[in-house]
Amino acid sequence: MNEEILERGRVAQAIANNAEFKQLIENIKMDMFYQFSMIEALDAEKKEEVHLTMRGLNLIVKKINSYMDNAKYEKAVKTTQSDV
C-alpha cells in the first residue's frame, strides 16, 4: 500500500472536514456570485475573471476529493489483497 497516498488522503479528509475551510469556500463562492451580479452585461473581461476564479476554486475542491477517493481505493486494494 502506498503510504503517501494514504497520508495525502488523511490530510485531505482533515481539510474537507474543517469548519473554517468549509466556511472559507462558501464565503468565496458568495463573493464571486456577488461580483458576477454586479458586472455589466457587456463586460466580458470581468465575467471571465470571475469565471476563472470559480473554476480554480472548484478545482481545489475536486483535488481534495480526489485525494480522499485515492486513499479509499488504496485501502480497498489492501483489504482485497489481504483476503487472498
Residue type, 20: E
pLDDT in tens, 29-71: 999 999 999 999 899 999 999 999 999 999 999 999 999 999 9
Q: Is residue 80 part of a domain?
A: no
Q: Is residue 59 part of a domain?
A: yes
- Note the pTM of the prediction, 2 decimals: 0.84
In this prediction, residue 1 has a pLDDT band, given cuts at 50, 70 and 90, of low
Reported residue count of the chain is 84
In this prediction, residue 78 has a pLDDT band, given cuts at 50, 70 and 90, of confident
Domain count, the chain: 1
- Residue range of the domain that includes 37: 3-75
Q: Is residue 49 part of a domain?
A: yes
**Taking the C-alpha atoms of 68, 72, 73 and 79 in order, what is their torsion angle to the nearest 10 degrees?**
160
Q: Is the pLDDT of residue 76 over 80?
A: yes
Residue 66, all three cell numbers:
480526489
Q: Is residue 83 part of a domain?
A: no
